[in-house]
A and B are shown apart, each in its own frame.
Chain A
Amino acid sequence: MSSEPLLRVENLKTQFFTDAGTVRAVDGISFEVHEGEIVGLVGESGAGKSVASMSLLRLVESPGEIVGGEITYRGETLFGLEEGPDGELRERDDMLSNEEMRTRIRGNEIAVIFQDPMETLNPVFTVGGQLREFIELNRDLSGKEARKEAIEMLREVGIPDPEERYEEYPHQFSGGMRQRVLIAMALACEPNLIIADEPTTALDVTVEGQIIDLVDELQEKYDTSFVWVTHDMGVVAEICDRVNVMYLGEIIEQAPVDELFHDTKHPYTEALLNSMPRPDRTVGELEPIEGVMPEAISPPSGCRFHPRCPDAREVCQRVHPENKEVARADGYPHNAACVKHDVFDVGYDESVPLDKEPQMTASTPSAGDDGE
């Protein structure tokens, strides 16, 4: 692998302490983002993608908390814990303070594009006003210069008549136009990393295509890195360089995008790909993933995917698979967390296939332990 990555996340754990119990929304994920790369974070609703991306900016709200792991951005520690003299974990000295996070990192270094462009602009101020405020805030420009810059940014993201649109309110913009404004906002301070949290999910498909093209274009121009959070494998194929597939708070497969699509190593990824609507397949040929994702509050034992996995065997209930390298492609490892690739230790091949019928017990934690 090349030099030091732009962003490195190691064993990140974010949990929500609710009355019902501890929700392990993100449970030990590790990934890297290099300069100029678009890295996908893929998974079903509730897999922990958004929590993971918000954790990167330390914007997890109570009752949520980052409880472990390390986030390094350009050699600076965004989050890190160490063991104190009393044996308790405490924040490391070199971890950036909240103040530094706010003034230096958020917006300036790492920006976010949110999912719903309808809700992400303040309805009481003009679009231009918000963009200008944001530029003023992060770039130390005077009001006039910031205004000029804001109009320039609007033009850059393909908004017609930016001078006039500058004075308009968010409700006068269509969804696609608003998403363009949000992209302008994210790019305004020329951050090195943009976290795009399902930025095209709320848009219709034609607009989605335009937005993706726009991002592609701008990414080339500014050489910005992206963490692209999505549940849409189609978007992933289109835009991402490398992909991390998440399931129930864990990354279960990571690989460069072509490798992931052509040499899928994890049954979950396979199932995701098979459940995608495609023009060459009818509805009847779609293979939805059986059942629903269990609650992260009490994940299934062993492999978390085993209650829904078509390839599950008895051993999957007992052994929690490590995410390890199973192949290499383009200088990057292809990691997968599945015991199928662990032939020597756990004896997957000798294990009995699981009966797929009574699998509605997915949400009870001990179901797997007694072998049913």
Chain B
Amino acid sequence: MAVGESQVGSGSEPAEKEVEARTGWRNTLKKIKRDTTARWGLYVIGFVLAVTAFTLVDSNLSRFTFGAISDFALAEALPVLEHPERLPAPGEAETNQPPMFHADGSLSNPLGTDPNGRDYFTRIVYGAQVSVSVGIAATFLGLVGGTAVGAIAGYYGGWIDDMLMRAIETVYAIPPLILIIVFTVFVSGGSPDVRFAIIGVGIAFIPVFARIIRSEVLSVREMDYIEAARAAGVKDRNIILRHIIPNSFAPVLVYATLQIGVTILIVAGLSFLGFGAQPPTPDWGEMLNTSHGYMHSNVWLSIWPGLAIMITIMGFNLFGDGLQDALDPRIND
């Protein structure tokens, strides 16, 4: 760590303190900054999140930076329906236009238009909103649920542990995609919606998170500071929240970062299968679903959402890998 600075102080007390103070979060961030791939992952995530945030603000303020065609693209999913005048009249827009660098392309639709004449660039941009927020929300659900279950099971042990972990394993035994589809269909009562997909995916992810955090908790709960907290009369709930979870969270955090990519992929798959986002909501998976019928006439319709999914997942994976290295005390510079 910070070899340069520590040598400047050459062992004098304050300099040493400063070096040590850099452990923890600041040190982790520093390590990530030095790790080129992790940094690029962070850039990609930042970009995608920025796009998502932009679309959220843009649509909620009804500003619709991208004009009339984008309004059409957002019909139903966003508050555009309250502005029917913004929808292009049927037949007005040109359908299945190729992207702008193609001989038949035009600058007004940089990525071309879809079979309904909607601007594909706008749909990809707004698609980030659904894909990314769903990916993060579902992972978060799994993370919170799994952490709660795993921490309680690991801390109390005994029959509570047995009961919770057997229940978790039952869920784990069912292939996740089938579990999610069945859940979505049952809960939604035949009208699938992306909200149910989030909950379904979240539940399907609880077991993995629970198992990771439980194995950490098993070692953390033997630490003296847990015993000390108990001897000081701290409530079990506070011991779990303040002592157990913060000390066993690092591996789960890394896993969650990697899992966001997987979640986005699963949600895209669900949408592709028709159980996730429903048309006309722009979602990358749903766009792939619609476009696969046009593979031969307009292959670009499949390439753009596919590329968007790939880049986003890559961003999360690169960052997750970097985070893993950064949090691993054995890998030091």
Contact = CB atoms under 8 A, between A and B. Distances in A.
Interface in B189-245: 223-225, 227-235, 238, 242-243
Nearest to B232: A107
A97 to B, nearest CB: 13
Nearest to B235: A102
A217 B73 CA distance: 77
Contact of B228 (A108, A120, A168): A120
Interface stretch (A131-139, A144-152, A242-250, A323-331): A131-139
Interface string A107-147: 11001101110011111110000000110011000000000
A122 B225 contact: yes
Given A62-B158, A172-B20, A114 B224 contact: yes
Contact of B24 (A116, A133, A169): A169
A189 to B, nearest CB: 8
Contacts of A57: 231
Contacts of A137: 232-234, 238
B219 to A, nearest CB: 12
A318 interface: no
B21 interface: yes
Secondary structure of the B side of the interface? helix
Contacts of A119: 223-225
B232 A106 contact: yes
B23 interface: yes
A134 B228 CA distance: 11
Contacts of A115: 224
Contacts of B21: 168, 172
Interface in A73-96: none
B225 A59 contact: no
B247 interface: yes
B47 to A, nearest CB: 31
B11 interface: no
Nearest to B249: A124
Contacts of A341: none
A124 B247 contact: yes
A26 interface: no
A120 B242 CA distance: 14
Contacts of A364: none
B215 to A, nearest CB: 18
A122 B247 contact: yes
Nearest to A57: B231
Contacts of A171: 20, 23
Contacts of A182: 228
Interface residues on B, range: 20 to 34
Contacts of A105: 233
Given A59-B230, A133-B242, A169-B24, A120 B235 contact: no
Contact of B233 (A106, A114, A125, A172): A106
B247 A112 contact: no
B247 A138 contact: no
A103 interface: yes
Contacts of B17: 168, 172
A105 B231 CA distance: 9
A330 B47 CA distance: 80
A61 B235 CA distance: 16
B22 to A, nearest CB: 11
B246 interface: yes
B76 to A, nearest CB: 46
A239 B310 CA distance: 69
A185 interface: yes
A101 B238 CA distance: 16
Contacts of B230: 59, 106
A54 to B, nearest CB: 8
Contact of A122 (B20, B23, B158, B243): B243
A8 to B, nearest CB: 20
A102 B237 CA distance: 13
Given A169-B24, A172-B17, A172-B21, A114 B228 contact: yes
Interface in B293-326: none
Contacts of A123: 225, 247
B1 to A, nearest CB: 13
Contacts of A120: 224-225, 227-228
Given A122-B243, A185-B232, A59 B224 contact: no
A106 B228 CA distance: 10
B233 A108 contact: yes
A137 B231 CA distance: 13
Contacts of B225: 119-123
30 contacts: A57-B231, A59-B227, A59-B230, A62-B158, A101-B233, A102-B235, A105-B233, A106-B230, A107-B234, A111-B231, A112-B231, A112-B232, A114-B224, A114-B228, A114-B231, A115-B224, A116-B224, A119-B223, A119-B225, A121-B228, A122-B242, A122-B243, A122-B246, A123-B225, A123-B247, A125-B242, A169-B23, A172-B17, A172-B21, A185-B228
Interface of A: 54, 57, 59, 62, 101-103, 105-108, 111-112, 114-116, 119-125, 133-134, 137-138, 168-169, 171-172, 182, 185
Shortest Cβ-Cβ A-B pairs, 6 listed: A106-B233, A107-B233, A119-B224, A112-B231, A107-B232, A120-B224
Given A107-B231, A116-B224, A121-B228, 15 more contacts: A59-B227, A59-B230, A102-B233, A102-B235, A103-B233, A106-B232, A111-B232, A112-B232, A114-B228, A120-B224, A122-B243, A125-B246, A133-B242, A168-B17, A185-B228
Interface of B: 17, 20-21, 23-24, 157-158, 223-225, 227-235, 238, 242-243, 246-247
